[in-house]
Amino acid sequence: HPPVRSICCIGAGYVGGPTCSIIAARCPHIDVTIVDINPARIAAWNSDPDPLTGDLTGLPVFEPGLSDIVKECRGRNLFFSTDVDEAIRKADLVFVSVNTPTKKSGVGAGYAADLHYVESSTRRIAQVATSSKIIVEKSTVPCRTASSMRVILESNSRPGIHFDILSNPEFLAEGTAMRDLQAPDRVLIGSLDTESGQCAADRLSEVYENWVPAERIYMTGLWSSELSKLAANALLAQRISSINSLAAICESTGASIHEVAHACGLDRRIGPQFLQASVGFGGSCFQKDILNLVYLSESLGLTPVANYWKQVIEMNEWSKNRFAHKVVQTLFNTITGKKVAVLGFSFKDNTGDTRESPAITVCRFFRRELARVSIYDPKVPEAQIHADLVDREHDATGVVAPQGTNNVTVCSSALEACKDAEAVVVLSPWREFRCENLDWGHIYENMSKPAFVFDGRAMLDAEKLKKIGFKVHAVGTGPEKTDAWL
């Protein structure tokens, strides 16, 4: 393989867009074309800057710092296009960065990854390529997917054309994607142990070496690389489920999850990160990737392994429901007709993404209890909130909720959402909700009394809120200290 001069990225989503924008910024000598079959998404990537601020506010993905990078590179060596075939043809290296959601029906439904987007991209590459290429799995895929891709490529390509497949999973987290991409903890490249496989891996490594120190680039076998991605997400999610299980113990004993997490995190073998108690984890990756790992374990006949990891998800489901239940219980066992304000709908701060957001589970719970739910989120569009909360025929518990999304109001500020509410429920940890940034005194004045705050992110200064007059319940904080001594 010659050095890489032209890259095609199939899939202009949360991963393909930011990842390849950074490559374009750090490698001005490489042409990068990001393609997608969704014309609306490509049009949004190509949208004009806001005439007043000059910012690219129309991009389909909100990530701090992304619009500046796109502005710098777009039209120079970064292109967004729906012409998939042309971009494949001229590329030396093709990233496959398409979605791999959990299968909804058929064999493995509810667990296995739906690989049909990966397969159709692979077939397309085989059909249109007129020269040899390096194909890189960027999507998160089950272990040994590269082997299926190889069969598809070899059976459908023109004579004399050779493909090498690499695994190069992406570890960025949303909300900090640009920072994670500019200074990754590691870049993982998996390849076959053949001369040509190693050469392909070296070529991809050279691309990253334009900004990533060589010692952070870790070369492994293909299957280890594929499995490491599922493993890393499973281990991270496991920490959150572990801390959330302990948060429940704290709430009934008077121990504080802040203190427990800090005390445990001081042990260097444990470390302080990813021990923030919460209503539960969300996002498009953790649940999907663990289900995928569960399916893989089950297919290998390793039922105890499957059950072990499944428990991480079950604990998460339980945490979300436990929290919602606590709200209802505290509001004198009924929220029927009551106004409940929800602050934060995205699955975490600094993103407008709502995939698997805990807010969806919690708001659906409130709706089934016939509350009036008013929601404010700094980045999630109103239409997205309605789309996430619209009733399906039956939910997981078999309960039919009221039709449509009546009784859901999306507000344009926290103050508006909280006006006349009986309770404020904080569900994503946006900085602007913190006591120093939001006028909680004003919110209190305009609420029904007693005024409750339920802090699903254990992020607010409870003492400050109590001084204002609020009754405060935070994840992982127990009963009042006086009770705790009894």
The structure tokens listed for 53 are: 């601020």
Separation CA 458–CA 454 (nearest Å)? 9
Report, in Å, the least distance between residue 85 CB and ligand NAD: 10
Binding letters toward ligand NAD, positions 133-162, x by CB under 6 A: ------xx----------------------
Looking at the Cβ atoms of 82 and 132, the one nearer to ligand NAD is: 82
Q: Which element (helix H / strand E) includes 341?
A: strand 339-343
CB of 484 to ligand NAD, least distance (A): 40
Q: Do residues 362 and 456 make contact, with C-beta atoms less than 8 angstroms apart?
A: yes
138: its two tokens: 């960027």
Tell me: does residue 292 bind ligand NAD (CB under 6 A): no
Paired tokens of 386: 């309605």
Q: CA 151, CA 128: separation in Å to the nearest integer?
A: 16
Q: Measured from the CB atom, is 20 or 236 closer to ligand UDX?
A: 236
Amino acid letter, 319: S
Number of helices followed by number of strands (H, E) in the chain: 18, 14
- Residue with tokens 């997205």, as numbered in its chain: 384
Which listed residue (8, 20, 73, 285) is catalytic? 285
* Edge-to-edge strands, sheet with 93-96: 78-81, 31-35, 6-10, 93-96, 133-137, 163-167, 187-191, 217-221
Task: Residue 348: name the closest of 97, 110, 177 by CA.
Answer: 177
Contact call for residue 370 and ligand NAD (CB under 6 A) = no
The verdict on whether 285 is a catalytic residue reads yes
Contacts of 390 (CB under 8 A, 6+ apart): 404, 405
Q: Which does 69 bind (CB under 5 to 8 A by kind): ligand NAD, ligand UDX, none?
A: none
Angle between helices 286-299 and 303-330 (to 10 degrees): 150
Shortest distance in whole angstroms from residue 42 CB to ligand NAD = 9
Residue 448 Cβ vs ligand UDX, minimum distance, rounded to whole Å: 29
Binder of residue 308, out of ligand NAD, ligand UDX, none (CB less than 5 to 8 A by kind) = none
Q: Would the annotation count 118 as a binding residue?
A: no
In angstroms, give the least distance from the CB of 411 to ligand UDX: 22
41 binds ligand NAD (CB under 6 A): yes
Is 129 assigned a ligand-binding role in the annotation?
no
Q: Which residues bind ligand UDX (CB under 6 A)?
A: 170-174, 233, 236, 240, 274-276, 278, 281-283, 285-286, 347-348
Which residues within the stretch 267-286 sit at the binding site for ligand NAD (CB under 6 A)? 284-285
Q: Name which of 35 and 327 has its Cβ closer to ligand NAD.
A: 35
CA–CA dist 345, 433 (Å, integer): 12
Contact residues toward ligand NAD (CB under 6 A) are 10-16, 35-38, 41, 84, 97-100, 117, 120-121, 139-140, 170, 172, 174, 284-285
Residue set of the binding site? 11-16, 36, 41, 98-102, 139-140, 174, 285-288, 355
Catalytic residues: 285
Residue set of the binding site for NAD(+)? 11-16, 36, 41, 98-102, 139-140, 174, 285-288, 355
